[in-house]
């Protein structure tokens, strides 16, 4: 059952270059956005910003 559900998207990625580029761009964008949020948190906490600065960052980023 699972193999049948995955066969169509895998075939689309294999045969359609435009969709393949789109899928890779979407994945890399998602990874980049996630890493950027983590990097901001570490940039605040590392020099001694503490939990209050991290909470402020979270409120600004996710509001």
Place of tokens 């901001």: 40
Please give the share of the chain, as a percent, with pLDDT higher than 90: 22
pTM (predicted TM-score): 0.56
Residue 11: is its pLDDT beyond 80?
Answer: yes
3-state SS, 37-61, equals HHHHHHHHHCCCCHHHHHHHHHHHH
Residues 6+ apart with CB under 8 A from 58: 41
15-43 mean pLDDT: 87
6-15 mean pLDDT: 84
Q: Are 54 and 41 in contact (CB under 8 A)?
A: yes
Max distance between CA atoms of the chain, in angstroms, equals: 52
Rounded-to-integer distance, Cα 50 and Cα 39, Å: 15
């Amino acid at each position: 059952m699972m193999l049948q559900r995955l066969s169509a998207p895998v075939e689309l990625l294999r045969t359609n270059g435009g969709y393949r580029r789109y899928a890779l761009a979407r994945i890399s964008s998602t990874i980049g956005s996630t890493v950027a949020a983590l990097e901001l948190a570490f940039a605040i906490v590392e020099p001694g910003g503490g939990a209050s600065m991290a909470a402020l960052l979270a409120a600004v980023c996710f509001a």
